[in-house]
Each structure stands twice: as C-alpha cells, then as structure tokens.
Amino acid sequence: MKRALRMFLSLLVAAAFLGLFFWKLDARQVLRHAGEAEPAWLMVALALQVLHLILRSLRWRILLAPMKRRIGFYNLFTTTAIGYLISFVFFRIGEVLRPLMLAQRESIQKSGAIATCVLERLMDALAVALLLGVYLLLFFDPPASGTGTLDMEQVRSAGLLLGGLMMACFPLMFAVVHWRHRVTARVDAWAGGPQALVPRLLHGFLDGFDAMKGLGAFTLAWAQSYTIWIAIAASIWASLKAFHLDLRFVDSFLMLALLNIGIAAPTPGGMGSYEYMGQLGLVQVFGVEPNRAAAAILVTHAFAIGPVILLGIFLLWREGLSMRTLMSSPSVPSEAGAAR
C-alpha cells in the first residue's frame, strides 16, 4: 500500500507538470513539428544513449576494483540497465536494487556496492556542475542566446551558485574517505566494537569509496564521468538538431543541467518535470517557438529513456526475470537493510 501511495503521488506530481507543460500549446502544431524530425539525428541520439550505458558500466568496474577485480562486464551492464528501468518505473528504487543484484552475482560486499553507487551520483553531480560552470563562464552569451523572458544575468548567477555548492561536496567526501578512521573509531567505541551491526555497516559502506584513495584509478573514473556526460549532452544536442534548432553543442550543457533537475523530480522517468524544464530552457532561454520546443523536448525525452527501457526489458526477459518478481522478492528489503 505504501508503494501504491508513492506511485499515486508520483503520478499526481507528473500530471501537474504535464499540465504546466501543455498549457497554451496547440496540439496540432506540436504533432506537425514532431513529424518534421530528421531520423538520422535521432538515430545518433539513440546510439549515444546506448554508449552512455556502456561507459557507466566501465566506470562502475573501476570504482568496484578495490573490492573485486575483473568483475564481468555482462553483469555490470545487465544490472545497470535493469536498475535504470526499475528506477524509471518505481522512482529510484533501482538505485538500491542495482548494487544488490551485482553483489549477489559477484559475491561482493553489498554495503560497499551501494556506496559505489552513491559515489557515482556524487561524481555525476560534480561533472554536470562543472560543465554548466564552464558554459556559463565561457560560452553563455545572454544578448545572443537569451531571447526569452528570463533575466539572463540571474540565470548565470543562479547556475554558478548551484555549481559552486555542488563542487564543495567533493572536498568533504575526500576528507571523509582519507580520515575515516577518526570517524569510525568513535562509532566503534559508541556501538560496542567493530563487529557490532552499525560499525560493520559503516565500514562496509565506506569500503565502497576506497577507489578515491588510488590516484590513477580515481583519475580514470573521473575522466570517465566527463565522457559519460559529454555523451549524454551530445545525445540531447542530436535530438534537438533533428528539429533544426539553432543551438551550439555547448548550449546542450545548459540543457543538460536543466533536464537533470527535471528527471530528478519524484515522477516516473521524469515524466512531466523533464518536459517542463526542457521547455523552460528552449523557450525562455533560447527563444524557441513554444510548439516547436514542445515537440523537440518530448522526442528528446523519448530518446533519452526509451533505449534504456527497451534494453532493460530485453535483459529482464533474457535473465528470466520480471519487475514484479524483483520488487516482490523478500531478499530486496532485507539485503538493503542488512547489507553484509
């Protein structure tokens, strides 16, 4: 019942965003513009989305290396695709299910695997923040690109502030990893020794951040993060180019940040919130005609999550699994709550 309530509230939020998105649009014009998309650019966008899943799997292998080397790529890719599929449907549950599935297949520490996913999210946020900061500082030209109704200087200031706050998280995480003994020693003493439940969970969780200790591996994972997000930005740009929008490739960095805010909202697959944030960027910042912008962002969203959903469904079928069996399995909540 709790899951059903969360789903109901999620759909309610999505409906509210979709209402804002479609307000004052001409449905016939939106459909006409959608039919004008160039298939070649859309195929490029699709290929880049598949590439980004491959790159994510390779980066995850780097972060997991301190716990186990030579983790099979098939297991990494399969659990990544299935995890994203479940997250799109059930809102972020796949972020916990994905490392649990991999930990079971590869016999690694569950709490450590979950920690690597937390580290992934931190690296993703910092990568997007830095790309946005570079764009706002070097490429954002309000008189040329800002033909909407927003105050472009306020857009620049807000973006730089958000990027700065996100970048400040990294030194904090670095300090926690490198001076973790000062934290864990106090927790061990408070909880009754390192073998108690809370210390074991904490130690296991922090083990997932051990990739940050090796400069070479961490640098490679960091470089991989930028490759991932540049591939995603390129996919967004290709989708928008299919509609003959006069945007530069670097303009996709701003759209990338806005769309990430949209897809992070508590709606299935960012439904509604993704469209609303994309519309905000295209219409208010870049001055695109609203019906044309609506068609472009709807198709962009479809090509952003569509390939992942299809791959996830195929891999579920190949593995003989289903979302119902995964979500109803008693091992999911117990493993999440008592990671070994």
DSSP 246-283: ---TTHHHHHHHHHHHHHTSSSGGGTTHHHHHHHIIII
Q: Amino acid letter at 226?
A: Y
Rounded CA-CA distance 14/104 in Å is: 34
Q: Say which range, 111-115, 124-128, 297-301, has the weakest mean pLDDT.
A: 111-115
pLDDT at 44: 96
pLDDT at 143: 45
Furthest CA-CA distance within the chain: 67
pLDDT at 239: 95
> Does residue 78 or residue 287 have the better pLDDT?
78
DSSP string over 147-206: -SSS-HHHHHHHHHHHHHHHHTHHHHHHHHHHTHHHHHHHHHHHHTSTTSHHHHHHHHHH
Q: Say which range, 41-45, 105-109, 329-333, has the weakest mean pLDDT.
A: 329-333
Question: Which pLDDT tens digit goes with each residue over 41-50?
Answer: 999 999 999 9
Question: Would you tell me how many other CB atoms lie within 10 Å of the CB of residue 135?
Answer: 23
Task: Give the model's confidence band at 335: pLDDT under 50 very low, under 70 low, under 90 confident, else very high.
Answer: very low
Rounded CA-CA distance 45/304 in Å is: 8
Question: Which pLDDT tens digit goes with each residue over 185-222?
Answer: 665 566 555 555 555 555 555 655 666 666 677 788 88
pLDDT at 328: 63
> Does residue 137 or residue 318 have the better pLDDT?
318
Rounded CA-CA distance 175/131 in Å is: 24
- pTM for the structure as a whole: 0.81
